[in-house]
Amino acid sequence: MSESIDSNTMKYKLINLYQQNRASILEGLPENMNRYRDAAIRDFDRMGIPEKGEEKYKYTDLMWAFGKTYGYAFKAHTINVDSSTLFQCAVPDLDTHTLILENGWFYERNNEHAALPKEIVACSIREASVTHAELFAKHYNQQAQEHPESVSVFNTAFAQDGMFLYIPDGFVMGKPIQIINLLRGNNPLLVNQRNLIVAGKNSQAKVIVCDHTLSHQNFLSNTVTEVFVDEQAVFDYYNIQNQHNQSSQVASLYIYQKKGSNTLTNTLTLHGGFVRNNVFVKLAEEHAEAHVYGLSLIDGKQHVDNYTFIDHAVPNCLSNEMYKNILDDDATGAFNGRILVRKDAQKTRAYQSNKNICLTPTARFFTKPQLEIYADDVKCSHGATVGQINEEAQFYLQSRGIGGREARMMLMYAFAYEVIRNIRVPVLVERYGELVERRLRGELSRCEGCFVHCN
């Protein structure tokens, strides 16, 4: 397959791949997961792979990710490493329940090491579709269906495994749950991972998702995560993206919020050749709150595009969004933040801010905030800036004896810290801060304590 393949040819190749392997994909999975597949592939046929310039992909060429040659695994490989030694996080006090997925498949011995409280259900989505059939059927593909995106219908058609997490009503997690997604292979690989998280009424949980690559092949991971947050639940979702710079990642996160629930999502992009994050938040019942944050620090020829869609469907909800990007070398970044305040969603408060620093003349940034408001008693605002490090601030620091490089570093760190400080796990604030600082210094090759040598 040549690199210059067009999106239409690629679409038919993928549809063919589905049709030829339909039996393997469906094998061993119940109807409640398989029933969406054929319709999804028809939708994918209709929608195609969005071309650059289409409104939602105005600044991102998905073919950079999709136009390469990948292999596809329809069966899980057994992980041949001793997982008990895998992840000992070196940042003191970051004590988590760790779960591992390799190439989108749930590691079967996870529960031996994760030491999760017995109330929590953490298993592969394959397993959940059978053992928790009712819960699964109630939530699976419900949100993704509401926003039929090309990448998510593609996932729905192909997905065979991923993470399922259920926090029962009233349960408060003491420690965060860390989900580590590993990509490894001797050949380029396309992975469709599908996650489903259900947070019960009055429950509280924090999930940290780390995306890593273990080998230097071209990977494309196309992940769909659906999160259902029930009444009064508090749910945090932190995603640390640190894949090597030839890999591509398309991550779609769907969050559905019930009455009085409170969510926080934070996407930190440290490395990754091509990253597209879609975040859809639906504030479906009153007094729900969503905090959506993102930070990316990119260089080389990396491309990061954050797309968010906050849907204020009912009155009295709050959303607060902040995305920041620091771009070095020839990196390109894009942000598209859509806020929809539906008719009669009065007393909505929706805030959005997108701030960007371009460090070099060749770094480019595109931003497109978007407010659509159909109710009158609302307070909505958005702000966007693109600029460089303030020379006066740098001069001030230098005049006090701080070296030029160090001063720049401090200013960049301070810029990034505005996002980091919103994290609701105090030790994670420290850890993020450290990761960001090391990333800014160009020292970061891997997350501290992780056996993975990402770069």
Partner 1 sequence: MSDQDTILNDVTQSEYKYGFVSAIESETIPKGLNEGVIRLISAKKNEPDWMLEFRLTAYRNWLKMKMPEWAHLKIPEINYQDIIYYAAPKQQAKYESLDQVDPELLETFNKLGIPLDEQKMLSGVAVDAVMDSVSVKTTFRDTLAEKGIIFCSFSEAVQEHPDLVREYMGSVVPPTDNYFAALNSAVFSDGSFCYIPKGVRCPMELSTYFRINAANTGQFERTLLVADDDSYVSYLEGCTAPMRDENQLHAAIVEIVAKTNAQVKYSTVQNWYPGDKNGKGGIYNFVTKRGLCQGKGSKISWSQVETGSAITWKYPSTILLGDNSVSEFYSVAVTNHHQQADTGTKMIHIGKNTKSTIVSKGISAGQSNNSYRGLVKISKRAEGARNFSQCDSLLLGDKCGAHTFPYIECENNSAILEHEATTSKIGEDQIFYCNQRGISTEDAIGMIVNGYAKQVLNTLPMEFAVEAQKLLQISLEGSVG
- Report the 10 Å Cβ neighbour count for 209: 23
Q: Which is nearer to partner 1, 404 or 449 (CB)?
A: 404
Does position 17 interact with partner 1 (CB under 8 A)? The reply is no
Best CA proximity match to 316, nearest among 256, 377, 370, 372: 377
Residue in 5, 17, 127, 366 binding partner 1, rule: CB under 8 A = 366
Name the minimum Å distance from CB 168 to partner 1. 40
SS3 of 444, please?
A: coil
Residue in 7, 142, 204, 346 binding partner 1, rule: CB under 8 A = 346
Select the span of 3-11, 41-49, 208-216, 384-392 touching partner 1 (CB under 8 A).
384-392
> How far is the CA of 86 from the CAs of 53, 69, 209, 345, 451, in angstroms?
42, 30, 15, 48, 6
Does position 380 interact with partner 1 (CB under 8 A)? The reply is yes
Select the span of 10-18, 55-63, 134-142, 282-290 touching partner 1 (CB under 8 A).
55-63
Determine which helix (DSSP H) or strand (DSSP E) holds 3, and give its type and residue range.
Answer: none
Best CA proximity match to 337, nearest among 274, 386, 286, 293: 293
Query: Which pair of tokens denotes residue 83?
Result: 């997982």
Provide the phi-psi class of 21: left if phi over 0, else alpha when psi is between -120 and 50, else beta: alpha
Name the minimum Å distance from CB 152 to partner 1. 23
Query: Which pair of tokens denotes residue 14?
Result: 């993928």
Residue in 255, 292, 358, 397 binding partner 1, rule: CB under 8 A = 358
Q: Which is nearer to partner 1, 176 or 315 (CB)?
A: 315
Size of the site for partner 1 (CB under 8 A): 38
Query: Which pair of tokens denotes residue 323?
Result: 């995305």
Select the span of 201-209, 292-300, 353-361, 424-432 touching partner 1 (CB under 8 A).
353-361
Residue in 69, 84, 381, 445 binding partner 1, rule: CB under 8 A = 381
**Residue pointed to by tokens 């304590």:** 449
Best CA proximity match to 113, nearest among 82, 84, 79: 84
Residue in 29, 73, 359, 402 binding partner 1, rule: CB under 8 A = 359
Residue in 365, 416, 425, 431 binding partner 1, rule: CB under 8 A = 365
CA angle 79, 83, 88 (to 5 degrees): 145
Does position 388 interact with partner 1 (CB under 8 A)? The reply is yes
Q: Which is nearer to partner 1, 40 or 310 (CB)?
A: 310
Name the minimum Å distance from CB 316 to partner 1. 15
Burial 351-373 (b: 16+ CB within 10 A, else e): bbbbbbbbbeeebbbebbbeeeb
Select the span of 122-130, 266-274, 343-351, 433-441 touching partner 1 (CB under 8 A).
343-351
**Residue pointed to by tokens 């460090």:** 359
Does position 31 interact with partner 1 (CB under 8 A)? The reply is no
Sequence-distant (6+) residues with CB within 8 A of 182 are: 100, 101, 102, 103, 212, 213, 214, 452
Q: Which is nearer to partner 1, 368 or 446 (CB)?
A: 368
**Residue pointed to by tokens 């953490």:** 122
> How far is the CA of 247 from the CAs of 167, 297, 317, 389, 394, in angstroms?
32, 16, 37, 29, 35
Residue in 99, 180, 227, 378 binding partner 1, rule: CB under 8 A = 378
Does position 375 interact with partner 1 (CB under 8 A)? The reply is yes
Residue in 356, 420, 423, 444 binding partner 1, rule: CB under 8 A = 356
Sequence-distant (6+) residues with CB within 8 A of 170 are: 200, 201, 202, 203
Residues 93-152 that bind partner 1 (CB under 8 A): none
CA-atom Rg of the chain in angstroms: 21
Name the minimum Å distance from CB 297 to partner 1. 15
Best CA proximity match to 23, nearest among 68, 65, 73, 74: 74
Name the minimum Å distance from CB 65 to partner 1. 21
Question: How far is the C-alpha of 323 from the C-alpha of 336, rounded, in Å?
Answer: 10
Binding track over 157-176 against partner 1, x by CB under 8 A: --------------------
Does position 453 interact with partner 1 (CB under 8 A)? The reply is no
Query: How many residues comprise the chain?
Result: 455
Does position 377 interact with partner 1 (CB under 8 A)? The reply is yes
Question: How far is the C-alpha of 259 from the C-alpha of 104, rounded, in Å?
Answer: 32
Name the minimum Å distance from CB 333 to partner 1. 10
Name the minimum Å distance from CB 309 to partner 1. 14
Q: Which is nearer to partner 1, 25 or 339 (CB)?
A: 339
Does position 382 interact with partner 1 (CB under 8 A)? The reply is yes
Does position 307 interact with partner 1 (CB under 8 A)? The reply is no
Name the minimum Å distance from CB 348 to partner 1. 10
Residues in contact with partner 1 by the rule CB under 8 A: 55, 58-59, 343-344, 346, 356, 358-388
